[in-house]
């Protein structure tokens, strides 16, 4: 193969991630021509309705998948967090890259950390998971919706709409705005979304030649961790509608998974934790999902 075309969304974050994959590909395969095919998705266009009601995470992939089917692109680069737990039939993940910081960031122009927020402070985030975690720790906070890309969200904070906002550390750092992070909200206090911080490459299922090009970019440890997180989330019926958090770590051969199901309105949360061999991420995901249900998570699920 002499040339490969990478479909990408047009947001600054998506373009950064795809350029990053392109650079790694060129490094792994000197002489390979790598081209970007930027496009807008419905998920990017519809900003006024909750994602879950207009079709969920798949809306960020659809146009990119159509481009692959129509042979206008060979692969698509995504934040793995935005990839539906059940990939569309006819597609496969060719690689999961090494994860960046998986945690959420506390960003504020006034307060140095989450603990410093005064009673009734206004915090912006549209993520059901972040809302549930914020309410679980601080029922007094006034939480407001905050959608749009990373720059839009920061602009709303700077305009004074909120005392603080919460967004992914990885997104801020990739856009060169890591300096805006006042505090990293680590697990287990704040558990991130499944696969937060990881970038993945999607290809047509059965396109072995294209998939093989991405093999050098694959990071087995990140793949094992995100597999456990995504399996747990999938078994609980994960979508944007339900606050589900999952965070796995790997130490030697031991994979550990922390899971949480919450309610964005009440801040009620149920937690689960288990560990097992790195070779069985699906089993671990299933175990923690079962544990969460046994502890009452189904009362919070739709
Ligand atoms: N929901 C949008 C989205 N998808 C991936 C990231 C950040 C990068 C990542 O998690 O890899 C973000 C922004 C955010 O959640 O603040």
pLDDT digits (tens, 9 = 90+) for 226-261: 999 999 999 998 555 679 999 999 999 999 999 999
Indicate whether 61 pLDDT > 90: no
Residue-wise pLDDT tens digits, 130-168: 999 999 999 999 999 998 889 999 999 999 999 999 999
Number of neighbours of residue 32 by Cβ within 10 angstroms: 15
Q: State the pLDDT at residue 53.
A: 57
- 31 alpha carbon to ligand 1 midpoint, in Å? 32
Nearest CA to ligand 1 atom 7: 171
Phi/psi of residue 199, nearest 5 degrees: -110, 140
Active site residues: 82
* Closest ligand 1 atom, residue 170 Cα: 8
Instruction: Give the pLDDT confidence score for residue 241 in this predicted structure.
Output: 67
DSSP state of 31: T
Give the pTM. Answer: 0.94
Cis amide bond preceding 188, omega within 30: yes
Residue 117: pLDDT above 60?
yes
Verify whether ligand 1 is closer than 6 Å to residue 82 (CB atom): yes
- Separation of alpha carbons 15 and 236, rounded Å: 31
Contact between residue 195 and residue 230 where contact means Cβ atoms under 8 Å apart: yes
Distance CA 201, CA 6 (A): 9
Q: Whose CA is nearest to atom 15 of ligand 1?
A: 168
Using DSSP's 3-state secondary structure scheme, residue 90 falls into: coil
Q: Is the ipTM of this complex over 0.90?
A: yes
Q: Which of 32-36, 37-41, 208-212, 236-240 has the lowest mean pLDDT?
A: 236-240
Does residue 81 have its Cβ closer than 6 Å to ligand 1? yes
Question: Ligand 1 pocket, 197 CB below 6 A?
Answer: yes
The closest of 35, 33, 36 to 1, measured between CA atoms, is 33
């Amino acid at each position: 193969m002499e040339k490969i075309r990478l479909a990408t969304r047009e947001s600054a974050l998506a373009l950064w991630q795809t350029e990053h994959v392109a650079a790694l590909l060129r490094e792994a395969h000197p002489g390979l021509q790598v081209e970007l095919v930027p496009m807008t998705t419905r998920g990017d266009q519809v900003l006024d309705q909750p994602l879950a009601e207009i079709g969920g995470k798949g809306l960020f992939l659809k146009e990119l998948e159509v481009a692959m089917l129509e042979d206008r692109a060979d692969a698509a680069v995504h934040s793995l967090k935005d990839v539906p737990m059940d990939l569309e039939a006819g597609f496969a993940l060719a690689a999961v890259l090494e994860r960046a910081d998986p945690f959420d960031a506390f960003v504020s122009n006034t307060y140095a950390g989450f603990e410093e927020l005064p009673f009734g402070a206004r915090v912006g985030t549209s993520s059901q998971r972040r809302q549930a975690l914020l309410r679980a720790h601080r029922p007094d906070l006034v939480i407001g919706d905050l959608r749009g890309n990373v720059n839009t969200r920061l602009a709303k904070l700077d305009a004074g709409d909120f005392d603080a906002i919460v967004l992914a550390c990885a997104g801020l750092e990739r856009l060169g705005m890591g300096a805006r992070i006042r505090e990293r909200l680590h697990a287990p206090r704040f558990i991130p979304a499944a696969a937060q911080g990881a970038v993945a490459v999607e290809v047509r299922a059965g396109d072995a030649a294209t998939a093989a090009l991405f093999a050098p970019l694959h990071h087995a440890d990140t793949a094992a961790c995100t597999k456990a997180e995504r399996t747990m989330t999938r078994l609980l019926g994960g979508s944007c509608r339900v606050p589900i958090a999952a965070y796995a770590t790997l130490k030697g051969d031991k994979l550990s998974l922390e899971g949480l199901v919450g309610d964005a309105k009440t801040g009620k949360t149920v937690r689960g934790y288990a560990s097992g061999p790195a070779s069985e991420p699906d089993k671990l995901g299933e175990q923690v999902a079962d544990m969460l249900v046994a502890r009452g998570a189904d009362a919070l699920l739709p």
